[in-house]
Amino acid sequence: MTARTSLRSVAESRGFDVGAAVDADLLRNDAGYWKLLRREFTTVTPENALKMGPLRPSPDTYDFGDADAVVNFGLEYDMTVRGHTLVWHNQTPEWFEEWAYTDDGIEGFLRDHIHTVAGRYRDKIDVWDVVNEAIADDGSMRETVWYDAMGEAYLDEAFGWADDVTDADLYYNDYGADGINEKSDAVYDLITGMLDRDVPIDGVGLQLHALHDEPDPGSVAENVYRFEDLGLDVQITEMDVAYPEGEVPEDHREQQAQYYRSIVEACLDTGCETLVTWGVRDGDSWVPGWFSGLTDDPLLFDGSTPKPAYHAIMDVLAEGSD
């Protein structure tokens, strides 16, 4: 391959975006972190700072400090900025008591939140995950405060409200729907219905947290194709790869590298032009804090040291670059 100085330079020469979820505190306080992020990635996603809970410390207050830090960093270094997320069933504000609202009150609360947050970043955020994880693991609609108050129409309204105030591309995002399976079929049916109702949706985010198994790359590609056939873009939005401690493959970092490579190859084959890892360095990953019994090295960097997964992505992107 042609010698390159960074993953970012290879990705840019290939017309491909490689991104990472970003922690605002590390961005402010760890020079090694932000220099690595600036050098190696083309896309940033605020990991938590744009979720409703962190943004809303009190009923009448928004705190945009952390979100602004990540968004402005992306703008300063000419990076694509993904907004995550406007509507989710988790990380609602601690003070938010849904039983204190009527259904109409819930609808007004959500509308005002989306108008305020998406409107603030109208010309700064390029892509929004408008609704996150609306489908349960069994393929049914997830029971959430938003669904209980508004039914499935909450998705239609959320995308419409976002479209009112932002120029960003608007995405539906979910986990466990990466390949062809019961859940991805349900996501497909959900989005097909939204398109039939002329809901302004531009794309689908496949999270691809490969934490207990590795979705088959061929199935992932097939899934990407069917969403693209609906006229939608598809992005891999939250990728990481870890293994159960009792089933760790020999040379598991090499297997991890091969899996990252196979997913990038599937992206290139299908026209999916963005892959975002959920974090920058292994030591900052969310995985050890949320899952017991998994390897603790799911990302592309061990400290500042590029891992085999990093080089695998570099190689596959360089194979077709100028």
Set 133, 143, 247, 319: catalytic member: 133
Query: What is the structure's pLDDT at 4?
Result: 52
Going by DSSP bridges, is the β-strand pair 127-132/209-210 parallel, antiparallel, or unpaired? Answer: unpaired
CA-wise closest residue to 45 among 283, 279, 239: 279
In sequence order, the β-bridge partners of residue 233 are 203
How far lies 12's CA from each of 130, 271, 297, in Å?
26, 15, 26
Confidence (pTM) = 0.97
- Mean pLDDT in residue range 151-171: 98
CATH of domain 7-319: 3.20.20.80
pLDDT, tens digit, for every residue of 262-283? 999 999 999 999 999 999 999 9
Q: Note if the bond before 116 is cis, omega within 30 degrees.
A: no
Taking the domains of the chain in order of start, what are their residue ranges? 7-319
Known catalytic residue: 238?
yes
pLDDT, tens digit, for every residue of 221-267? 999 999 999 999 999 999 999 999 989 999 999 999 999 999 999 99
Query: What is the structure's pLDDT at 2?
Result: 43
Set 40, 47, 214, 238: catalytic member: 238
Query: Where does the pLDDT of residue 137 fall: very low under 50, low under 70, confident under 90, or very high at 90 and above?
Result: very high
Known catalytic residue: 97?
no
pLDDT, tens digit, for every residue of 187-203? 999 999 999 999 999 99
Query: Where does the pLDDT of residue 5 fall: very low under 50, low under 70, confident under 90, or very high at 90 and above?
Result: confident
- Mean pLDDT in residue range 303-319: 97
